[in-house]
Structure formats: C-alpha cells, structure tokens
C-alpha cells in the first residue's frame, strides 16, 4: 500500500473483491430474527470466534510472494491476533503477534493453537503498537494492524454486503438501521461503507462503552480525540479499549456513519445474558455492545428494522459465568 492508497476510501468494488477471497475461509454468518423486526448477525460463529478473520485473511491473501517471505507482525488484544494467526497458517506465512499481558487467556490460547510467536507487553495500546513497529522495522516484516489498513477494512465490509443480501432474502424492504461495535473503527468503517453504498437510505450506528467513548467525542469534534489508556482500560469490553479511532477508519466513519451510541457496563453485561438466554449465543462483552445498544437505546434509532452485528464470542469461562450471574435480567 502507498501513501496515496491511505487517502482513498475503500470502495464497494474493493469489498466485493474481498468476498471472493474469503469465500472458502469466512463463514457467511446467519441473520437471526430476534425481537419485533430486529435481527442479529453473529460473527461469534466464525472459525476464530470473531469477525476479524475476514480482514486479516483479506490483507494477507494480497501480499506478494516477496512480502509473504518476509512474514507479518501485528498488535492486538486478542481477536485480531487469533485471526492473523489463523490466516498466516492457512497461507503458510510466518507471523508474530504482540499482545498485552492482560489479554484474556482464551484469546492467548487461540493464538497459540495456530503456532505463531507471541510477544507480551504491558496493558496499554501504545505499548503493543510501538513494539510491533519496532519488530517490523528490525526484521523487515509486514505490519498488519487490526483496523488502520484498507485491506482489513475491505474484509470487514463483507459483513455489510451479507446483511443487505440477507435482508432482501427475508423480504425486508424497509431500509435498516445497523448497529456495529466500534473500537479503533475498522469493523464499523467496513460495514458502514458496504451498507450505505448499496442502501443509501439505511442508517449505520457505532456502539461503544461509555467508559471508552473516544469515538463519539471524535465524531462530535470532527477529528480524532485521544482518551488516556487508564480511562479506556476501565471497560470490560477489552476489544474496544483503543484510545482513539484509527485515521483510515475515521475517514470512513465521518463519511458513512450516522451516529455513535454509548452503553454502560451493566447494560453490556445484561446483553451478554440476553444473548445466551434468548438467542443461545455466547458473546464476549465487546461482541455484545451492539446488542446492548439495541436493547437499551432503541428510542435513539429510527423506526424500522434493526440489525445488530455481534462481533465476537471469545470469553474466558470463569468471566462468562460471572457475567451471567451478575446480569439484572
């Protein structure tokens, strides 16, 4: 990718090309009817337990032979690390992942299962970003971040195309509102680009924890705003603790996203329990924020069908049991 590529928004054609690359790798997850004209898109059912396999594989599959020989490095709190590990194994590429030392054990074990090297650093996002850049420069490896990469956004955008297709298959004619978890912004950027490019009348909303609402503030100000790591670390949604939206996704969010909803920690925990009780789905807190938005912020959405993208289900067993016990439902 060149600097000029970084300034160009991902197109609908880019996302359609990603669909073909992912056809035998990523699951076309179902669109499940939920409550009163609402639907759930459970990316927790993907082979690595989250949507991240879409962007990771799409990015690695486009590397040249020379780039593949140099290997890849990434930084991640877990789900992107697992996706890079799986994609690199499938494509025969060496990979190194930099993870925080407080990453959930289920995510660490998921990375180890695919046989890649893990380097642990402190809990702050800046630490793992700096270490990954250092490794890339020292060893000549390709850096593939979790969000700030056009090819990653292309892959995540395939979710949006599936939503549009599946609503049509179900005979849903009214433009939907689509709720997407937002951390650094790669998922929301891809989904919003795909949905709004095919259904201009649709609305797309990011959903994030109130304790890590840097994207809402950034959208309100019209420029990326950085929150201290000590603040974003307070949320249980470990996959959404980025301190500021990444530059490339943020350009897409400003163009295509209609608003940002915020939910509190108790609402996220309740959404985990609702998913288990009503939809028989296991969600991690980060994957449940969009469902929390659907359950507790419906009055902030336009009338009509609503789709909540459930981004992942990689949660430690003990933590999951605790969330179910503490839920207020």
Residues annotated as catalytic are: 52, 311
From CA 70, how far away is CA 135, in angstroms rounded?
12
In degrees and rounded to multiples of 5, residue 50 shows phi and psi of -160, 170
CA distance 55 to 217: 26
Cα dihedral value 280, 181, 113, 20, nearest 10: 100
> Which residues neighbour 99 within 8 Å (Cβ) at sequence distance 6 or greater?
75, 76, 77, 78, 81, 107, 108, 111, 118, 119, 120, 121, 128
Q: What is the DSSP letter of 302?
A: -
Contact present, 73 and 143 (Cβ < 8 Å): yes
End-to-end CA distance of the chain: 48
**How far is residue 212's CA from residue 239's CA, in Å, rounded to a whole number?**
11
Yes or no: say if 158 and 23 are a contact pair by the CB < 8 Å rule. Answer: no
The strand pair at 38-42 and 306-310 is best described as parallel
Q: Which two tokens stand for residue 118?
A: 């893990």
CB atoms within 10 A of CB 81: 29
Distance CA 187, CA 303 (A): 24
The strand ranges marked E within the chain are: 32-33, 38-42, 72-75, 95-100, 117-121, 142-143, 177-181, 203-209, 259-263, 306-310
Contact 323, 194 (CB under 8 A): no
Q: What share of the chain is helix, strand, coil (3-state, %, to 5)?
A: 50, 15, 35
């Amino acid at each position: 990718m060149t600097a000029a590529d970084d300034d160009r928004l991902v197109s609908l054609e880019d996302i359609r090309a990603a669909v073909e690359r992912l056809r035998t790798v990523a699951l076309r997850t179902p669109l499940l009817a939920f409550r009163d004209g609402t639907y759930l898109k459970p990316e927790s059912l993907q082979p690595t337990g989250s949507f991240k396999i879409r962007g990771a594989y799409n990015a690695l599959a486009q590397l040249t032979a020379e780039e593949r020989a140099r290997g890849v490095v990434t930084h991640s709190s877990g789900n992107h690390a697992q996706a890079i590990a799986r994609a690199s194994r499938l494509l025969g590429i060496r990979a190194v992942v930099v993870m925080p030392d407080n990453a959930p054990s289920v995510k660490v074990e998921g990375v180890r299962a695919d046989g890649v090297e893990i380097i642990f650093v402190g809990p702050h996002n800046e630490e793992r970003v700096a270490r990954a850049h250092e490794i890339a420069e020292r060893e000549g490896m390709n850096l593939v971040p979790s969000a700030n990469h056009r090819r990653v956004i292309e892959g995540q955008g395939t979710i949006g195309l599936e939503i549009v297709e599946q609503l049509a298959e179900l005979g849903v004619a009214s433009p939907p509102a689509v709720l997407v978890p937002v951390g650094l912004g790669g998922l929301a950027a891809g989904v919003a680009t795909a949905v709004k490019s095919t259904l201009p009348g649709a609305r797309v909303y990011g959903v994030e924890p109130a304790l890590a609402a840097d994207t809402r503030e950034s959208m309100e100000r019209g420029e990326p705003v950085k929150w201290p790591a000590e603040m974003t670390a307070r949320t249980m949604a470990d996959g959404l603790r980025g301190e500021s939206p990444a530059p490339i996704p943020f350009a897409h969010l400003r163009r295509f996203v209609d608003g940002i909803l915020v939910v509190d920690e108790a609402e996220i925990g309740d959404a985990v329990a609702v998913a288990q009780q009503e939809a028989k789905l296991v969600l991690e807190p980060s994957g449940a924020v969009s469902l929390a938005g659907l359950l507790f912020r419906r009055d902030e959405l336009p009338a009509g069908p609503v789709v909540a993208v459930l981004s992942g289900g990689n949660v430690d067993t003990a933590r999951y049991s605790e969330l179910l016990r503490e839920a207020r439902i």
